[in-house]
Amino acid sequence: MIGRNGIGIGIGIGHNLDGLSMKILLTGGTGYIGSHIAVVFAQMGHSVVLYDNLSNSSASVAGQINAITDEKCVFVRGDIRDTAFLQSTLRSQQIEAVVHLAGLKAVGESVEKPIDYYANNVQGTISLLEAMEAERIKTLVFSSSATVYGQPQYLPIDENHPTSATNPYGRSKLHIEEMLSDVAASDGGWHIACLRYFNPAGAHETARLGERPAGKPNNLMPFIAQVATGERTVLSIFGDDYETPDGTGLRDYIHVMDLAEGHAMALQFLISNAGWHAFNLGTGQAYSVMEMIKSFEKASCQKVAFNVAPRRPGDVAACFANPDKAMLVLGWTASRTLDDMCSSTWHFYQSFDNAAGKAKG
C-alpha cells in the first residue's frame, strides 16, 4: 500500500449526515453506485426517485433498495435524453435536487462507439440541464471521474491537477464538467458539484446491492471476484514491470458506501454554496493489483489464479487522490478498509442468484 502519509484508510472523521429532508432524483439510480447512494439518502430521510432506462441495471434493484431502507423509493423507468418525460417527472415528483449518475462508462467500448458515448453522456446531460432549468431546479451533483486528470503529472492528484482525456469516455466526462462550469458561471442560481471518483469497489453490507457486470468485467475487483467464485479461470495481471514496489499497477480503491456518503456531504454543502465545485472522492491510499489479489484471497478464503499479461494500452503505473479538499470543505473522508471492500464484494457474489440475475432475498 502506498499512502501520502503512511496512515491507513480507517481515518474517518464523524460525518454529519443530518440535514434538511429533500426530494432528490437520481439519474442512473438503479446502477451500481446510484443504488448505494439511494440507500444512504433514504436512510437520511430524503425522498428518493430512481430514474433509469435500465440499459445497465435491473428494476429489481429498486426492490432491494426498498428492502434495505423500509422506505418507499420511487422507481421511474426513463431515459435522460427524453427531455419532456424527464421534465414531467421532475415536476410531478416535486424534485429539489438531482444526482446525475446515468451514463455509459466502459473505456474500451467508448473507443469503438464514440457517438453512443457522446449521445448518452453529453447529450443526455444537456437534456437534463434543459429539464432542470425549465423546472427551476438548480442543485446538481455530477458523477465525474479521476479519468478527467488524464495521464497523472504528479501524485497524489489534487483538484488543481490539469485535466485532459485519453479516450471518448473520459472526454465525455470532461465536456460535461466544462458545460456545468459554464452553466454555473452564467447564472448564480446554480449549485453544482462534480465529484471525481477514483476506483469504486465493494458492495452493501446486506449483500443485496453490488456490482455484477454483464459479460466480461472491465474492472479489476469484479474480475477477481469472478475468479474466486470459479466463474472465470484466471485473472490476467496487465503488466508487472511498472515502476511500483511490486511492478503491478497502483490505484486508489474507495468503498462504494464511502463514495455514497460523499454525495450526501456534497449535497449538504451545495445547499449553502452556489457555483461550480470539483472534489476528489478517493482515500489517498493506493494498492497494487497484487495486493488486491492477496486481500481478496484473505477475505474469501479462496485462491485467485493469475497470470501476467502485457500492459493494457492506456494504463498508467499509479493513480491516487489527494482527498484533502473533500475533507476540509465537505467534512468527508473515507473510513472503510480494503478488507471491507473485498469481504462485502465476496458476500455479495456469494449471495447473488445467477439464475435470477439478482441478489437473493
Residue 237 as a binder of ligand WQD (CB under 6 A): the answer is yes
- 351: Cα within 13 Å, side-chain hemisphere: 19
117 has catalytic annotation: no
Distance from CA of residue 65 to its chain's centroid? 17
Q: Are the C-beta atoms of 338 and 253 separated by less than 8 Å?
A: yes
Residue 223, interface with ligand WQD (CB under 6 A)?
Answer: yes
The distance of closest approach from Cβ of residue 89 to ligand WQD in the complex, given in angstroms and rounded to an integer, is 26
Amino acid 222 reads P
- Contact letters for ligand WQD, residues 33-72 (x by CB under 6 A): ----------------------------------------
**How many residues in the chain?**
361
**Residues 248 and 290: beta-carbon distance below 8 Å:** yes
Considering only residues 98 to 117 of the shown chain, the ones binding ligand NAD according to CB under 6 A are 101-103, 105
Buried b (16+ CB within 10 A) or exposed e, 309-332: eeeeeeebbbbbbbbebbbeebeb
Site residues for ligand WQD, window 309-338 (CB under 6 A)?
Answer: 312, 315
- Which strand (E) or helix (H) includes residue 95? none
Residues 6+ apart with CB under 8 A from 354: none
> Which one of residues 41, 75, 190, 197 is an interface residue with ligand NAD (CB under 6 A)?
197
Whether residue 222 is preceded by a cis peptide bond, meaning omega within 30 degrees of 0, is no
- Grid coordinates representing 36 are 448505494
Restricted to residues 222-251, the positions that interact with ligand NAD (CB under 6 A) are none
**What binding mask, one character per residue, do residues 154-173 give for ligand NAD by CB under 6 A, x or -?**
--------------------
Q: In the complex with ligand NAD, which residue's Cβ is closer, 200 or 239? A: 200
Residues in contact with ligand WQD, counted by CB under 6 A, come to a total of 18
Q: Which residues 9-38 are close enough to bind ligand NAD by CB under 6 A?
A: 27-28, 30-34
Q: Kindly calculate the radius of gyration of the chain based on its CA atoms and give it in whole angstroms.
A: 19
Q: Contact at 8 Å (CB) between 28 and 101?
A: yes
Q: Catalytic one among 118, 169, 197, 242?
A: 169
Residue closer to ligand WQD by CB (options 55, 92) is 55
Counting contacts by CB under 6 A, is residue 304 touching ligand WQD?
Answer: no
Q: Which residues are catalytic?
A: 169
Binding residues for ligand NAD (CB under 6 A): 27-28, 30-34, 52-57, 79-81, 101-103, 105, 120, 124, 143, 145, 197, 200, 219
